[in-house]
Amino acid sequence: MHDQMKRLTEFAQNTLGIAKPSDLARALNVSPQALNNWKTRGISKPELFAIQTKIGVSAEWLQSGNGEPINEKKQVDRVVNKGMVSVSQLTELMTLFAACDEQGRSFILNAARSTFDVCTRHSAADQLQKRS
């Protein structure tokens, strides 16, 4: 398997809780065949940047393994600038998260992953309906 695909798979499993290739393909809005191609050929630069936009993983890290998988400042800026959440909402969420014990933080992360999975499935279904 190509190193880029190894890193993408690792990130998807460890950070997003996405274990199945079909779920990863849906999250990235690509075909399962595209994932298979990436396993042998690697991921092109335009596709790396598209992946970065869709799931927040660093294109540089995917390409080379250098740096961190997530640039936290860029991630926060992306979420705030796209109007996904306000700075006050993000601050409140971080405050609540910090006040929890390890079990509470784990619960919040699992709930967020489950919500992400549901949103991803709905988004994929919406895309399919638009194509029909």
**Can you tell me the mean pLDDT for 56-77?**
80
The pLDDT of residue 110 = 81
The pLDDT of residue 53 = 81
Buried b (16+ CB within 10 A) or exposed e, 83-106: eeeeeeeeeeeeeeeeeeeeeeee
The pLDDT of residue 56 = 80
pTM of the model: 0.57
**Can you tell me the mean pLDDT for 63-76?**
76
Instruction: Residue 10: name the closest of 1, 59, 19 by CA.
Output: 19
Write the secondary structure of 33-60 as one string of H (helix), E (strand) and C (coil).
HHHHHHHHHCCCHHHHHHHHHHHCCCHH
In angstroms, the CA 17 to CA 117 distance is 9
pLDDT above 90 (res 92): no
